[in-house]
């Protein structure tokens, strides 16, 4: 199963659509917050399910702060990360993943992409599609789940002639 992971779109839905196109043919898209409404807007542009969570800029948006889902037998926790202080440490996020039995955690908030394995849990921050703080620029991630261990890769968003 191939999942496109995005975060911190902040209204730049065109960039999210471009990330999905660049990734190929995903089975699902996970949006790790900021803006939750962008996940709803993206759903109108694609034919696969889009699942989103709220971020720190979504206080007035209805939606969950975290989601737990199964992707080809792999339990995935998705949250924006601000409630777990991810800008300073990942220990609270890892603890929550352990409580829920998640093998993968998808989060955002920092605007910097990262892939790390902590105590057997794959932590993936796809970075940001808006105002990235990542040396790679605007980024997204692809997660493969199914046979064997889940794996993830970070990709730089290909520029579209200055368009979002």
Q: 115 lies in a domain?
A: yes
Give residue 66's domain range: 2-156
Element holding 154 (H helix, E strand): strand 151-156
Q: 109 lies in a domain?
A: yes
For residue 48, the domain's CATH number is 3.60.21.10
Q: 104 lies in a domain?
A: yes
Per-residue pLDDT of the chain (164 residues; tens, 9 = 90+): 999 999 999 999 999 999 999 999 999 999 999 999 999 999 999 999 999 999 999 988 999 999 999 999 999 999 999 999 999 999 999 999 999 999 999 999 999 999 999 999 999 999 999 988 999 999 999 999 998 999 999 999 986 655 44
Q: How many domains does the chain have?
A: 1
Q: 148 lies in a domain?
A: yes
| Separation CA 35–CA 150 (nearest Å) | 26
Q: 80 lies in a domain?
A: yes
């Amino acid at each position: 199963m191939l999942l496109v992971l995005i975060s911190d779109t902040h209204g730049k839905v065109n960039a999210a659509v471009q990330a999905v196109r660049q990734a190929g043919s995903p089975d699902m898209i996970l949006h790790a917050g900021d803006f939750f409404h962008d996940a709803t807007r993206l759903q109108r542009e694609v034919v696969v399910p889009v699942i989103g969570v709220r971020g720190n800029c979504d206080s007035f948006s209805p939606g969950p702060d975290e989601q737990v889902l199964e992707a080809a037998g792999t339990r995935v926790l998705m949250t924006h990360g601000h409630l777990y202080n991810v800008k300073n440490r990942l220990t609270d996020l890892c603890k929550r993943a352990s409580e829920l039995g998640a093998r993968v955690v998808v989060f955002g908030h920092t605007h910097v992409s990262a892939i790390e394995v902590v105590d057997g849990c794959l932590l993936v921050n796809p970075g940001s599609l808006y105002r990235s703080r990542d040396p790679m620029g605007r980024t997204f991630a692809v997660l493969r789940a199914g046979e064997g261990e889940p794996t993830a890769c970070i990709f730089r968003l290909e520029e579209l002639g200055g368009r979002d």
